[in-house]
Structure 1
Amino acid sequence: MRKIFVQEPDSDIWKKWIRDCQEETQKAIDSVTKGENPKINEKLYKRDSIKKSYFVTKGAPFYGRCTYCESPIKDNQYPQVEHFRPKAGIMDENRKVINLKDENGIDTGEPHPGYYWLAYDWRNLLPSCAICNQPKSTLFPVVGRHAQAPNEEINEKPLLINPISELEDDNPELHLSVDPHTGIMSPVNDSLRGAMCIKLFRLNEREQLVDERKKIRRITNTMVTELYEALQKTGDPTYSERQAYQEIIKCYEELIGVFKGSQPYTAAYLSILRQKGFTIEWLQKKCEIFQDLLSNLDD
């Protein structure tokens, strides 16, 4: 799991979808206000044009991968648009149905309807592989009380992590790390949230996942070696300055791309790169220096 940097699209298709989502959200809220069960229009949040252009595209922000396990969602698989906070009904980590509570915090015996007001919120929608989505289903464990009405979720303390959240504490790197030798994922500082994600999504129980993360160590070391070798070419008379700068910039851009999530199993890459002292800010600064040097050759 990695932090995913998202930027809301600005296309006309997206804007229309957002308007449609807002209308359906209000309908659901109005239904609950009247004492009725909210109706969720699944076709809306799964709208094909939005799904293909945003949720399952091979480019940013999700790069065609599952938000939780980071595995590529292959063309022959059915990518699912998953609700981080469940749209209809909630269970805790023990699969116990969560009921609504009255103003005194007493269980009413009435099942929680789910986060119906977030059913179409794009910040609550994530692409997921079936292997991660099936066990999650309506599970949404929290510390304390579940939100029961719009905006109450702001005060919730989820035990799962939403990688596209802008909240600092929702950065997966604060909760999950990968051993570069074994590929095993562990909670950072005994993080309860990290442990819950590992358990629920079976991030260490799936042999293929662990094997793929183990391979990252060799790949990352190769990328770093190539960068150092490229830097040495600036003093090699057999290479022109232009050739050297272009190769250095390419190496920096590849590493920057890793930090942005361009490669599968980014969490494994980051665990290694951070151990080596790399940060995206440092890489970007160095890359800009050599881009300026290359630009000066053209002046």
Structure 2
Amino acid sequence: MIRVKRGRAPDVLTRNRARWLRDLQRARTPKARKRVLERYRHKEVKDALVALFHGKCAYCESFIRHVDYGHIEHYRPKAKYPRRVFTWSNLVLACGVCNGSEYKGDEFPLKAQGGPLINPCAEDPAPHLSFEYDPVAKLASVRGKTPRGDTTERLLGLNRQDLRTYRSTHVKRLWFIAQKAATEPEARQLLDEAAASTREYSAFAQLLRNALLNGFSFASIPLKS
């Protein structure tokens, strides 16, 4: 997870949000209510979120669009916060697993429950989450540094087995590149490219690039932010 600077709301939300909320309040049947709620799925909204997050899940940083359409995710769940269903600052792009019922779903823990979840568009995740790579175990893991970080990691499944296996394979290659980057310009360029916000798991690439800049030896010891 990385910080993402949110741009202005798509015009369709700016023009229609107030009217859509009024229509939602006036809906008298579950069917009518559902029909109004579905308006947040407008193509302009989806396109804006795909561009904002570069086709990545806002939470796990996995690319989505080559295998799935991705979810328009409500940071504060629409089931519990219906007045925020059309609020631009409450919308992110998420993969179907982070946003699925097995993980976040309609959950939104408050402070007393270790929440709220880290919002990558409203704050820097770095004070709450540590990105770690163990070159012996060859595992790239996300760890909580605060109660909110712990809750975010657990509730989003940021170390679920399939995700960590795939992510670790990617970061293992970056670890090798980082060892070459101090002396080989092409390797340095590859590492810089991987650290861009447009790239998959850029939080880990940024960790490796910062380690290189700080003179880390890249011996077989764990690396963490």
Normalised-by-shorter TM-score class: 0.7 to 0.9
SS of the residue corresponding to residue 184 of structure 1 reads strand
For each residue in 1:78-130, what CA deviation from the matched residue of structure 2 results, as whole angstroms up to 9, or x when unmatched?
41101000112xxxxxxxxxxxxxxxxxxxxxxxxx22221111111111111
The size of the alignment, in residue pairs, is 205
The residue that corresponds to 1:266 in the other structure is 202
Evaluate the alpha carbon distance shift between residue 124 and residue 64 of structure 1 in structure 2; reply closer, same or farther with a 3 A threshold.
same
**Correspondence list, 1:162-173, <5 A:** 162-165=119-122, 170-173=123-126
Q: Please say if 1:66 is aligned against 2:54.
A: no
**Correspondence list, 1:1-299, <5 A:** 1-8=1-8, 14-28=10-24, 39=33, 41-51=36-46, 53-56=47-50, 60-88=51-79, 114-134=80-100, 135-144=103-112, 158-165=115-122, 170-181=123-134, 182-188=139-145, 191-213=146-168, 215-219=170-174, 222=177, 225-226=180-181, 228-230=183-185, 251=189, 255=192, 258-277=194-213
Task: Give identity over the alignment, percent.
Answer: 24
Pick 1 or 2: higher relative contact order, CA cutoff 8 A, min separation 6: 2
Contact 1:184 1:204 in 2 (8 A): yes
The alpha carbon displacement at 1:259 in A equals: 4.6
SS of the residue corresponding to residue 45 of structure 1 reads helix
Root mean square deviation, CA, Å: 3.3
Q: Taking structure 1 as the reference length, what is the TM-score of the superposition? A: 0.58
The alpha carbon displacement at 1:21 in A equals: 1.9
Asked which structure has the greater CA Rg, the reply is 1
Q: Taking structure 2 as the reference length, what is the TM-score of the superposition? A: 0.75
**Structure 2: any 5+ residue segments left out of the alignment?**
215-225
**Structure 1: any 5+ residue segments left out of the alignment?**
89-113, 146-156, 231-246, 279-299
The alpha carbon displacement at 1:138 in A equals: 1.3
One-letter code aligned to 1:141: P
The alpha carbon displacement at 1:31 in A equals: 5.4
Task: Single out whichever of 261-270 and 218-227 deviates more from structure 2.
Answer: 218-227
Q: Larger helix proportion, structure 1 or 2?
A: 1
Task: Single out whichever of 130-139 and 67-76 deviates more from structure 2.
Answer: 67-76
One-letter code aligned to 1:115: Y
The alpha carbon displacement at 1:64 in A equals: 1.0
